[in-house]
A and B are shown apart, each in its own frame.
Chain A
Amino acid sequence: MQAAQAGDIDSFGKLCEEYYSPLVAVAYNALGDHQLAEDAAQEALARGLVNLRKLKDVRKSAPWLAQICRNVACDMVQSQRPSAAAEEISGTSGDCQAHETAQIVRAAIDRLPASMKEVVILRYYNNYSYKQITAMLGLPKRTINGSLTRAKRKLAEHLRRRGVPEDML
């Protein structure tokens, strides 16, 4: 990061490669659309670069970029067509039960409190480790763990009420 701050674009490129994927997940949390989330992450990196030299604590670069990405995504909030997204995510449209379950799960995740939802998205969108989530959000592992546990408990309850078979929970 220090090299990037000093003007080494290639070092910034390394950071981009490191952070791009989790930034997409952060943006996806707000936007619910993969393509828009990628646009938001790319825009966040551009805004991050322009403001890079204002960053005082390089250890907080990841949560700093995540916050920029949240801001960008907030500006891009859109109402998407759920059917299109569902097709894209669940794969085969013929698998009706899986399709329906995926929709129920996404709806349940949408109902989670914002901070909890972000942790869930980061954990499952690209399968990030606790360590990666900790670095990205700048939160202690204990907090991440607690958020995920509570989120999963809420999700399980919601899914159970919606008739998702117990053996899937």
Chain B
Amino acid sequence: MKTEDTDNKLDSVIRTAIGREDVPFDFGQWRHGHRAAIEQFQAQCVSGESLNSSQMSLLRRLRWSPVFRFAVAAVVVLVAVWAVSHLGSPFDVAPAYAFTDAPEVLARAATIHASGWRYFPGHTMPDGSAIPPVPIELWVDLVNGCERQTTTGLSAGKDYVHVGVGELIQNSQFMFRLDHTEKTSFFFPRGIQAGAEGLVDRSVRLLLGDFAALASAVKVGDEEIDGQECEIWQWQRDSQVAGPAFRTRFWFSPATGRTKRVESWMKWGPADWQLAQEYTRIELDLPLGEGIFAMETPVGYTAMNTPEAAALPPSRPFNLGGYSDGRCSLSYGAARSFTLADGSVIWGWWSIDKMSQTPREAPFADLVFGGPLPKVPIEFNALVPGGEPSDVTYWGHHLTYTSKSYTDGGLILTEWVLYVPDETPAETVEEYDYDALYVFNLDHTPHLKISLPVPYGRRIGTAEDFDRWVLPAIGETSDDGQVPAGLTFDRVLQLAEQIREAHAREKGIERP
């Protein structure tokens, strides 16, 4: 039997063999190198996209569940009995709201205006002093589906702190970000929650946080604001294994149902609670000033893109993977994918071997529309449906290619491919996306296994869709933003049909 002593010796041997000093992490540097991911995430946040459905709809589900209705009815009866016995007739007092009505009252307003401060808990200036808070403001037009809010970003290192301030304006079509620090403007496409309903949910959540949490809030005091008696309600969540604890306080007027003030606090471990954000003034139904939601680049600012180009997120050589074995140094990445109404797929991708002496343009010489793909180091020559095993294979045919020079990736040539299924794919393909197949065009077989899902992407049903979504996606992977001439929806559909006929002939299938 081993003793503690022998275990310790073995521990020491293992630690000597593989142990390493703690790995430092510089979030500022990481942010700098992963701007695309951050921008994509921020776009999701402002559009309300992708927030897991359990959080999104909990209050709604609670609201309609029989148990909840019964509980509400019971509470109402109890409150009524208590009120009659303590306050006299219910007809003597003004109608009162419960704190859980707060989201509904906000959602019924025509406009919302809120202002306050954002703080930076957990961070200090290099000299240890507090980082000055940033004033924030929120304007929402709930009738017409427009919103304008202050955004902030902080990057900090050992000897620097950088606070970026901007604004995000959105309407039913676009999100428009003004970066007041960099003096730039940028258009983003609206997410899947475009429309008034999505806006109401998102705007109310901006002020009140997670609706479901309100049900567990407790009353912690009273205070008068602007001559109105307000109840102070508090919701708190203790810290998890990693991360801070959260506390939100709401000043709620039971007479009007309005939330008058909101404070958000954070706390790490045994440290004191720190204020993260506060809306000190929340007003409903104010008239809207002119130009509040105007998407115009101010004088002196640089427009980074146009609304037309904003149909798709900014592209950069997003490196999906890499491999190096002394004989090659591979990188590969993907652009966007689309599924045409006939079931074929358009997908752009790239691969390079940094050790290769061959010019990167060389494999792209003499390519023809509908012909074989370029013999680049990793050739994604086919797709298969994701999910359950399938006999269907989508074989790739060259459409066009684009080239773009990146500061952090050199010249990237993106191959745009039409993948046509050799049989009718299952309907579940939309749910499970596709998996990429590939071959190596190298003088040796690298020990690299690629598992690369390809999104189903936006469905392209018309020439208008094609021009609106596909062409700009291709254009964004070229230096000049232009799409090589001759690429049209009709031409791509014709090619797909020719390929399907060829597949049918090969298999001896008679097509209608």
Contact = CB atoms under 8 A, between A and B. Distances in A.
Contacts of A9: 31, 38, 41-42, 153-154
A114 interface: no
Contacts of B27: 13, 16-17
B46 A7 contact: yes
7 contacts: A1-B240, A13-B31, A50-B41, A53-B50, A56-B55, A124-B14, A126-B19
A75 interface: yes
A62 interface: yes
Contact of B18 (A38, A45, A125): A125
A105 B22 contact: no
A87 interface: no
B276 A159 contact: no
B348 to A, nearest CB: 18
Contacts of B16: 90, 98, 101-102, 105
Contact of B210 (A2, A16, A38): A2
A141 interface: no
A24 interface: yes
Q: How large is the interface on B (under 10, 10 to 19, 20 to 34, 35 or more residues)?
A: 35 or more
Given A77-B447, A124-B18, A152 B7 contact: yes
Given A20-B25, A126-B22, A156-B10, A14 B15 contact: no
Contacts of A74: 449, 451
Contact of B34 (A2, A49, A52): A49
A11 B448 contact: no
A139 B154 CA distance: 34
Interface of B: 2, 6-7, 9-11, 13-23, 25, 27, 30-31, 33-34, 37-38, 40-42, 44-46, 49-52, 54-55, 120, 122-123, 153-154, 205, 209-210, 237, 240-244, 246, 266, 268, 276, 319-326, 447-452
Interface string A39-80: 101110111011111111011011000000001101111110
A90 to B, nearest CB: 8
Given A15-B242, A21-B23, 17 more contacts: A3-B266, A36-B324, A38-B23, A41-B23, A45-B34, A49-B41, A53-B45, A74-B449, A75-B452, A81-B326, A98-B16, A125-B20, A127-B15, A135-B242, A156-B2, A159-B13, A169-B10
Chain A contact patch, size range: 35 or more
A5 B122 CA distance: 17
Majority DSSP secondary structure for residues of B touching A:
mixed
A56 B54 contact: yes
| Interface SS, A side | helix
B45 A7 contact: yes
Nearest to B277: A8
B52 A19 contact: no
Interface string A154-169: 0110010000100111
Given A21-B22, A75-B450, A135-B242, A46 B9 contact: no
A55 B13 contact: no
B154 A10 contact: yes
A79 B325 contact: yes
A106 interface: yes
A167 B18 contact: no
Given A71-B451, A125-B18, A16 B323 contact: no
A158 B54 CA distance: 49
B52 A34 contact: no
B237 A76 contact: no
B195 to A, nearest CB: 19
Given A45-B30, A62-B242, A124 B25 contact: no
B359 to A, nearest CB: 25
Contacts of B323: 76-78
A124 B15 contact: yes
Contacts of A144: none
Interface string A121-148: 1001111000000010000000000000
Contacts of A38: 23
Given A16-B27, A50-B37, A106 B243 contact: no
Contacts of B50: 51, 53-54
B122 A109 contact: no
Contacts of A36: 322, 324
B15 A78 contact: no
Nearest to B452: A75
B52 A56 contact: yes
B243 to A, nearest CB: 5
B341 to A, nearest CB: 27
